[in-house]
């Protein structure tokens, strides 16, 4: 229903004369807007509209309701022929009531106190429900700034990805390193690499079960001795470095970020980069195949394992990707998530805590309003808390991520200086 329609229907409800609908509608909230003066048909006082089927003042309306609810034998002390006026209307209840009935006021239109209260609540609820939630102009502008910043700084075609050092999917290299012998929990997608058709490697089949663990274990040991076991690490280093630069550019495009002191900008970037990259990659995640479809390249869990990442991180990470992707977020919601993550006041080293906190609150409220305004039930249901839960989930992975990157660097020092700097806990 458009806004105009809602306004119209509200006014119709307010203006409709009582009883016309046959619902015994005892509206207490009539406000007539036409300028013609209205006169109470009982006493001649100024009328406030139709009450119980007649044009009356508030005084006569109340009198009629009380008289009907507490029926008492009324008798006229005069000749049963009093002329009721504004000034004498209290003097003879009997004639006043007769006048009320004679002009057509109806007892059956009086609602019980409970019914009046119920009706009031109903109207209130209906209005709250119908009140269209709208983004404020500031919120609209904030979303536009975020979406523009995102589109400018992240190339959704991923055309750059093929410039990175190649993704080595040597079957005997890495996948077993990450599978923990104790649990063996991965039902590991096995990589098959089709010969390049267009100079690009593609993941074809990920669903076949992994080969014998023991033989893989042996190979791993060999690889460990030989070094260079994280075969996709060079590609991942290039990819991550590229993504970090994008996150920095994205953040610096935002007015809200630029106005922060430089030390806090760095602290926020260090805290959020991993999370923003994760959110960004979720846009490429196919929740049916479990593959990240990044333009010319496709990645699967195995690729992350061959870069040296381990189960403690990859398990919750996969879970996160499935959960978030299933929410089918709009681009606006994704970028708001990224911004909410960026402006986390409790990252280590943040000094202007209050400023960042206020920014984050504004962004969170914008996301909430966006969902209210743009989403319909049932998808709207609990979407906001679900998104917030995903943000929390990512935060809990952040520490493990740093730990694993440092471990990888320890074994195979191919992590880029920028990548190391972003995860380092020291100041700048
Ligand atoms: Zn009156
Ligand atoms: Zn009288």
Q: What is the CATH number of the domain that holds 310?
A: 1.10.565.10
**With contact defined as beta carbons under 8 Å apart, do 100 and 54 qualify?**
yes
User: What mean pLDDT is predicted for residues 130-148?
Assistant: 91
**With contact defined as beta carbons under 8 Å apart, do 419 and 244 qualify?**
yes
Per the structure block, which two tokens stand in for 134? 């709208």
User: What mean pLDDT is predicted for residues 399-407?
Assistant: 94
> Which ligand number lies closest to the CA of residue 54?
1
Per the structure block, which two tokens stand in for 20? 């016309």
Same domain membership, residue 403 and residue 342: yes
Q: Does residue 4 fall inside a structural domain? A: no
- Residue 259's closest CA among 191, 343, 179? 343
Cα angle for residues 193, 293, 197 (degrees, 5° grid): 40
pLDDT at 19 over 50: no
CA of 63 to the centre of ligand 1 (A): 9
Q: Does residue 3 fall inside a structural domain? A: no
Share of the chain above pLDDT 90, in %: 64
- Looking only at the bridges linking them, the beta strands covering 49-51 and 54-56 are antiparallel
CA of 84 to the centre of ligand 1 (A): 8
Q: Predicted confidence band at 388 (pLDDT cuts at 50, 70, 90)?
A: very high
CA of 75 to the centre of ligand 2 (A): 7
**Per-residue pLDDT at 30:** 43
CA of 396 to the centre of ligand 1 (A): 70
User: What mean pLDDT is predicted for residues 164-170?
Assistant: 81
> Which ligand number lies closest to the CA of residue 41?
1
Which residues crowd ion ligand 2, with CB under 5 Å?
76, 78, 82, 92, 95
Q: How far apart are CA 51 and CA 58, in angstroms?
A: 9
Q: How far apart are CA 312 and CA 318, in angstroms?
A: 11
Mean pLDDT of the chain: 81
Domains: count for the chain: 2
> Which parts of 57-112 fold into alpha helices (H)?
58-69, 93-102
Q: Predicted confidence band at 127 (pLDDT cuts at 50, 70, 90)?
A: confident
CA of 54 to the centre of ligand 1 (A): 10
Same domain membership, residue 173 and residue 90: no
Of 96, 130, 164, the domain-final residue:
130
Q: Does residue 261 fall inside a structural domain? A: yes
Q: How far apart are CA 127 and CA 245, in angstroms?
A: 48
- Residue 9's closest CA among 124, 179, 130? 130
By mean pLDDT, which of 98-102, 140-144, 216-220, 348-352 is the weakest? 216-220
For residues 239-259, one letter each, b for 16 or more C-beta atoms within 10 angstroms of the residue's C-beta and e for the rest, the string is bbbbbbebbbebbebbebbee
CA of 56 to the centre of ligand 1 (A): 5
Cα angle for residues 29, 128, 24 (degrees, 5° grid): 40
CA of 81 to the centre of ligand 2 (A): 5
CA of 98 to the centre of ligand 2 (A): 9
Of 77, 98, 130, the domain-final residue:
130
> Which ligand number lies closest to the CA of residue 81?
2
Same domain membership, residue 175 and residue 268: yes
What confidence tens digit (pLDDT) does each residue in 272-313 have? 999 999 999 999 999 999 999 999 999 999 999 999 999 999
**Per-residue pLDDT at 34:** 57
Same domain membership, residue 265 and residue 233: yes
pLDDT at 172 over 90: no
CA of 100 to the centre of ligand 2 (A): 13
Q: Predicted confidence band at 120 (pLDDT cuts at 50, 70, 90)?
A: confident
**Per-residue pLDDT at 73:** 85
By mean pLDDT, which of 30-34, 45-49, 147-151, 374-378 is the weakest? 30-34
User: What mean pLDDT is predicted for residues 218-224?
Assistant: 48
**Per-residue pLDDT at 28:** 44
CA of 403 to the centre of ligand 2 (A): 94
Q: Does residue 416 fall inside a structural domain? A: yes
Same domain membership, residue 409 and residue 327: yes
Of 79, 114, 130, the domain-final residue:
130
Same domain membership, residue 166 and residue 55: no
Question: Which CATH number do you get for residue 52?
Answer: 3.30.50.10
pLDDT at 22 over 90: no
Cβ atoms within 10 Å, residue 392: 8
Distances (CA, A) of 152 to 175, 361, 402: 35, 25, 28
> Which parts of 70-212 fold into alpha helices (H)?
93-102, 113-130, 137-153, 175-178
User: What mean pLDDT is predicted for residues 179-201?
Assistant: 38
What confidence tens digit (pLDDT) does each residue in 323-346 have? 999 999 999 999 999 999 999 999
Same domain membership, residue 375 and residue 394: yes
CA of 46 to the centre of ligand 2 (A): 22
pLDDT at 8 over 80: no
Q: Does residue 177 fall inside a structural domain? A: yes
Q: How far apart are CA 86 and CA 173, in angstroms?
A: 99
Element (H, E) at 384: helix 383-411
**Per-residue pLDDT at 368:** 95
Q: Does residue 298 fall inside a structural domain? A: yes
Q: Does residue 120 fall inside a structural domain? A: yes
CA of 57 to the centre of ligand 2 (A): 19
Same domain membership, residue 302 and residue 249: yes
**Per-residue pLDDT at 224:** 47
Same domain membership, residue 162 and residue 105: no
Per the structure block, which two tokens stand in for 425? 């806990």
> Which ligand number lies closest to the CA of residue 44?
1
Same domain membership, residue 65 and residue 150: no
Q: Predicted confidence band at 70 (pLDDT cuts at 50, 70, 90)?
A: confident
Same domain membership, residue 162 and residue 120: no
> Which ligand number lies closest to the CA of residue 59?
1
**Per-residue pLDDT at 261:** 96
Higher pLDDT, 352 or 195: 352
The reported pTM is 0.62
**With contact defined as beta carbons under 8 Å apart, do 43 and 60 qualify?**
yes
Element (H, E) at 232: none
Burial status of residue 393 (CB atoms within 10 A of its CB: 0-12, 13-18, 19 or more): middle
**Per-residue pLDDT at 428:** 46
pLDDT at 182 over 60: no
**With contact defined as beta carbons under 8 Å apart, do 130 and 230 qualify?**
no
Q: Predicted confidence band at 171 (pLDDT cuts at 50, 70, 90)?
A: low
Per the structure block, which two tokens stand in for 114? 């409970």
- Looking only at the bridges linking them, the beta strands covering 54-56 and 297-299 are unpaired
- Domain range holding 384? 137-423
What confidence tens digit (pLDDT) does each residue in 243-271 have? 999 999 999 999 999 999 999 999 999 99
CA of 55 to the centre of ligand 1 (A): 9
**With contact defined as beta carbons under 8 Å apart, do 18 and 50 qualify?**
yes
**Per-residue pLDDT at 169:** 74
Higher pLDDT, 113 or 144: 144
By mean pLDDT, which of 13-17, 147-151, 212-216, 424-428 is the weakest? 13-17
CA of 80 to the centre of ligand 2 (A): 4
Cis status, amide bond into 292, omega within 30 of 0: no
For residues 299-321, one letter each, b for 16 or more C-beta atoms within 10 angstroms of the residue's C-beta and e for the rest, the string is bbbbbbbbbbbbbebbeebbebb
CA of 268 to the centre of ligand 1 (A): 69
Same domain membership, residue 77 and residue 27: yes
Q: How far apart are CA 28 and CA 383, in angstroms?
A: 38
**Per-residue pLDDT at 36:** 67
**Per-residue pLDDT at 112:** 80
Q: Does residue 155 fall inside a structural domain? A: yes
pLDDT at 316 over 60: yes
């Amino acid at each position: 229903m458009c806004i105009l329609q809602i306004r119209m229907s509200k006014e119709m409800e307010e203006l409709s004369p009582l009883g016309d609908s046959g619902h015994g509608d005892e509206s207490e909230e009539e406000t007539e807007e036409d300028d013609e003066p209205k006169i109470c048909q009982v006493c001649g006082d100024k009328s406030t509209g139709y009450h119980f089927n007649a044009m009356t003042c508030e005084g006569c309306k109340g009198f009629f309701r009380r008289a009907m609810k507490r029926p008492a034998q009324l008798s006229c002390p005069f000749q049963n022929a009093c002329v009721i006026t504004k000034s004498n209307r209290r003097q003879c209840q009997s004639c006043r009531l007769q006048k009320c009935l004679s002009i057509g006021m109806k007892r059956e239109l009086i609602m019980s106190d409970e019914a009046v209260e119920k009706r009031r609540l109903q109207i209130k609820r209906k209005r709250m429900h119908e009140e269209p939630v709208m983004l404020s102009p500031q919120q609209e502008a904030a979303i536009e700034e975020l979406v523009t910043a995102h589109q400018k700084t992240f190339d959704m075609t991923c055309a750059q990805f093929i410039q990175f050092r190649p993704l080595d999917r040597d079957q005997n290299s890495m996948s077993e390193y990450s599978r923990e012998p104790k649990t063996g929990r991965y039902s590991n997608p096995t990589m098959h690499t089709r010969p390049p058709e267009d100079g690009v490697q593609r993941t074809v089949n990920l669903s076949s079960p992994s080969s014998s663990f023991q033989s893989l274990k042996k190979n791993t040991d060999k690889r460990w001795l030989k070094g260079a076991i994280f075969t996709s690490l060079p590609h991942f280093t290039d990819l991550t470095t590229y993504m970090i630069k994008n996150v920095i550019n994205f953040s610096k495009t935002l007015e809200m970020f630029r106005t922060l002191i430089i030390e806090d900008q760095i602290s926020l970037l260090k805290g959020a980069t991993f999370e923003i990259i994760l959110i960004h990659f979720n846009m490429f995640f196919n929740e049916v195949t479990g593959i990240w479809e990044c333009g010319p390249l496709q990645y699967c869990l195995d690729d992350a394992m061959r870069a040296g990442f381990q189960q403690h991180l990859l398990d919750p990470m996969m879970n996160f990707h499935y959960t978030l992707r299933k929410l089918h977020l709009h681009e606006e919601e994704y970028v708001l998530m990224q911004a909410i993550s960026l402006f986390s006041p409790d990252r280590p080293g943040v000094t202007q805590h209050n400023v960042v906190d206020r920014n984050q609150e504004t962004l969170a409220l914008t996301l909430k309003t966006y969902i209210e305004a743009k989403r319909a039930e049932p998808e709207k249901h609990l979407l906001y808390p679900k998104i917030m839960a995903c943000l929390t989930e990512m935060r809990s992975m952040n520490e493990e991520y740093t730990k694993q990157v440092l471990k990888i660097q320890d074994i195979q020092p191919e992590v880029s200086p920028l990548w190391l700097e972003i995860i380092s806990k020291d100041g700048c």
